[in-house]
Amino acid sequence: MSKFIVSVVMIWILALGLRLWKIDSYPLSLNWDEVTFAYNAYSVLETGKDEYGEILPLQFKSIGDYKNPMYVYLLVPLIKLFGLNELAVRIPPAVLGSLTIPLLGMIVWQLFRNKACAISSALVLAIAPWHVQFTRAGADVGVGTFFVILGIALFVRNKYLLGLVTLVGGMYAYFGERAFVPLVVGLLMWMVRLTRRELLMSLIGMTVVILPLVGPLVSEGHKGKVFMTTLLSYRPPEKLTQKLIREDGKIVYGLFHNPVVEYGLMMVDRYVNHFSPTFLFIKGLSDNRQRIVGMGMMYWSDLILLAMAMPLVAKGVRHKNWKFLILWLLVAPIPAAITRDPVHARRAFNMIYPLSILVGIGLVELWQRRTMWKILFVGVWMWLVGLYVLSYYVFTPLQTFRGSAGWQYGYKQLVEFVEPIKNNYGQIVIDTAYQGSYAYFLFYGKYPPNKYQPQARLVKDDPLGLGEGSGYDKYQFRKIFWPHDRGTSGTLFAGPPEKIPLTDIDSSKARLLKTIYFPDKSVAFYVVEVL
Amino acid sequence: MAKFSVLGFFLAINLLSPWMWSLIKNPEAFKFDRWLLYKFDSPERTMEINTLRGQSKWSRLFVNKFTWNSKEIASRIAETFDLHYLVLEGDLDLRRTTGKSGPVLATMVPFILVGFGRPWAVPIILGSLLAGLFEPHFFTPARIPLFLLFSWLAAIGISKKKIGAWYWILVVFEFARFAHGFWLHI
């Protein structure tokens, strides 16, 4: 075996280790995306239907977010094998995500015929915080990205039909790929002029793969999902519009505040935010599920390596392979740029691959410098990797555990306490302040899907938001209003302290059974029985 | 002649630049005596450092005043190259921006890139370091020398490239959009 292959395999083992180490306990808990994916897979495994009784669907209604099918179906055999637990849920993104690392090495080798660059790019990707973040947990993006990278790798190895078909397959795995895949397919077809026969076969192949998805794509659920996620649902507040018209007059308002200018600028703003040094290298995001405390999505040192790669980019930019690399990077944030969030690491996840290639090229450049620079750089790099590991396992879990924007810590402990005593009560009410409570009770309670399906009902407070299951058997999932609910005898309540204030519990009428704490020792849930 | 046209473009670009108009309109917001120097021992940062250091025995290796202050200073330096600040939103203080456009016109960015060459890298890096000396994020006054440099690069870029009329229309539109926000909405 050549040294090159041995190096790539060793990097892959490192990557797999980084993605599997304590995967069931870091991030601290499953978020509701992961739980709902898994329960739907469990439902398919047990009954051949989703939680609402739909037979083998190609989109899963779930909490009203109409999930993609690929991850659900990949989970089915894993849940059979490992059971309905954290490990089964997180294995697919971890294993498939780690496989993108040798695939990236292969892409670099095919594009630049440079083994050193291929190895260094794979190494950079293997330890990239951005990549580790979304391939350890966070579900479908880690699955979708595998199909995209596999597709590109096959295409650049001249397996055009197989490559394009695999890329289109990625559209079954993650929503962002539905915007990204057509762009990257266009880029690949621009890079390689296919013969008429190859083009025809590719078009037929892609059509055959995409055809079953047409129904879900034009469904009301999908349209709603697109509407609520993208800028299409944004409307400026009426008061602001009236103020602007008053100050501008209708003509000036029409010239500078028309939808083309306003939405165009919003998209440009979102697009450029993904290239912000603060986002990439220094602070990252404030969103708890995407955040790594004290860091950006990449290491600071990557900035230096990127700068070192720039002269080569400038030199090579006339060649198609370099052009492809740059255009890959430029189109990658487009799915994120059309959505409502100002910056979104998950939706722009495809950026990490061309960025890793550029950083890898910079690393090879650095390796040709004096030994002193190499030692200095390796020292800084190791320090940064150490900071990242410490942040991932210590700092970040202590700041990102709360609520649906974070990792929704506390539900597992709540279910483990409530399930054994549920028969003592006529009714059990769980507050929905942290969202997704019904899914956690189904998941950790391993509630039989054939019993849940006839009871499944999704309730939405906001038509543009996500929903909640309303309840099953004795369980009700709703907002607790304590002044009213404290009079409901024979009922068990569980909710956050702001919903069940301890000062309002009359010990002759109600009893605090259990307090569940967050990792920072603040209260997550009070479990109270009304006598 | 070429130098003269670069100088002419340089003056014109500065005249069109939003930062210049903010400076003319609200000079007191740019006054040097109001510049808040970076605080190495600010209570918030000290608290953050102490909290993180208490979370693991390894924390002391990675989290200390030196590393955390370096990160904060680096973030202020890096903000200079954040296009969201530079061309779309500008300073956080509304006396120094319209909030709807940055200190530099977006249409000038391609020319800055065209005008950029290796010799300019060091002055740009040195110019961006100045922002690290001050406490506020996205602080425009500390970046004025750099914006002058950007204007010079854009002037070189414009003099190098043949530009279609449509692009000048875009420049005028962008300036007009800024000007209408500047005079009508703030």
Contacts of B47 in chain A (CB under 8 A): none
- Residue B61 and residue A277: Cβ atoms within 8 Å? no
Per-residue pLDDT, B117:
83
Angle at which helices A160-169 and A175-191 cross, to 10°: 160
Distance CA A72, CA A82 (A): 15
Per-residue pLDDT, A137:
87
What 8-state DSSP symbol labels residue B133? Answer: G
Cα-Cα-Cα-Cα dihedral sign, residues A224, A62, A73, A430: positive
Per-residue pLDDT, B3:
64
Nearest chain A Cα distance for residue B185, angstroms? 7
Per-residue pLDDT, A458:
92
- Residue A390 and residue B78: Cβ atoms within 8 Å? no
- Residue A261 and residue B62: Cβ atoms within 8 Å? no
Contacts of B61 in chain A (CB under 8 A): 386
Per-residue pLDDT, B1:
47
Which residue ranges of chain A lie beneath pLDDT 50? none
- Interface of chain A against chain B, CB under 8 Å? 244, 247-248, 252, 256, 261, 265, 268-269, 272-273, 275-278, 281-283, 293-294, 300, 383, 386-387, 390, 394-395, 398
Burial code of A25-61, b = ≥16 C-beta within 10 A, e = fewer? ebbbbbbbbbbbbbbbbbbbbbbebbbbebeebbbbb
Nearest chain A Cα distance for residue B1, angstroms? 29
Contacts of B81 in chain A (CB under 8 A): 277
pLDDT-derived band at B59 (thresholds 50, 70, 90) equals very high
The residues pairing with A339 across neighbouring beta strands, listed in sequence order, are A230
Which is nearest to B110 in space by CA: B41, B5, B13, B7? B13
Which is nearest to A156 in space by CA: A320, A1, A4? A320
Describe the strand order of the beta sheet including A510-517 as a list of residue ranges.
A471-472, A475-477, A427-430, A491-495, A523-530, A510-517
Q: Which of B79, B176, B184 sits opposite A248 (nearest CB)?
A: B184
Among chain B residues, the shortest Cα distance to A265 is held by B88
Residue type, A402: R
Per-residue pLDDT, B4:
66
Q: Which of A252, A268, A277 sits opposite B78 (nearest CB)?
A: A277
Mutate to test the interface with A, among B58, B62, B186 (most CBs of A within 10 A): B62
Among chain B residues, the shortest Cα distance to A244 is held by B185
Per-residue pLDDT, A227:
86
Q: Which of A252, A276, A300 sits opposite B82 (nearest CB)?
A: A276
Which is nearest to A229 in space by CA: A466, A468, A469, A467? A466
Contacts of B174 in chain A (CB under 8 A): none
Compute the mean pLDDT over every residue in chain A, rounded to the nearest whole number.
93
Q: Rg of chain A over CA atoms, in angstroms?
A: 25
Among chain A residues, the shortest Cα distance to B176 is held by A256
Q: What are phi and psi of A527, to 5 degrees?
A: -110, 120
Per-residue pLDDT, B25:
87
Among chain A residues, the shortest Cα distance to B60 is held by A387
Q: What is the ipTM of this complex?
A: 0.91
Distance CA A306, CA A311 (A): 10
Q: How many residues does chain B have?
A: 186
- Residue A248 and residue B75: Cβ atoms within 8 Å? no
Nearest chain A Cα distance for residue B8, angstroms? 29
- Interface of chain B against chain A, CB under 8 Å? 52, 55-56, 58-59, 61-63, 71, 74-75, 78-79, 81-84, 87-89, 106, 176-177, 180-181, 184-185
Contacts of A382 in chain B (CB under 8 A): none
Per-residue pLDDT, A453:
95
Q: What is the pLDDT of residues A513-528, one digit of tens each?
A: 999 999 999 999 999 9
pTM for the predicted model, two decimal places: 0.92
Distance CA A511, CA A505 (A): 7
Burial of A80 (0-12, 13-18, 19+ CB in 10 A): middle
Nearest chain B Cα distance for residue A498, angstroms? 26
- Residue B79 and residue A261: Cβ atoms within 8 Å? no
- Residue B82 and residue A278: Cβ atoms within 8 Å? yes
Q: What is the pLDDT of residues A281-302, one digit of tens each?
A: 988 888 888 999 989 999 999 9
Q: What are phi and psi of A247, to 5 degrees?
A: -75, -35
Q: What is the pLDDT of residues B150-173, one digit of tens each?
A: 999 999 999 988 888 999 999 999
Q: Which of B58, B78, B83 sits opposite A281 (nearest CB)?
A: B78
Per-residue pLDDT, A296:
93
Contacts of B52 in chain A (CB under 8 A): 293-294, 395
Q: Is A515 left (phi over 0), alpha (psi -120 to 50) or beta?
A: beta
Per-residue pLDDT, B2:
63
The residues pairing with B134 across neighbouring beta strands, listed in sequence order, are B37
Tokens of A421: 């005593």
In sequence order, the 6+-apart residues with CB closer than 8 A to the CB of A352 are: A125, A128, A130, A131, A297, A298
Burial of B38 (0-12, 13-18, 19+ CB in 10 A): middle
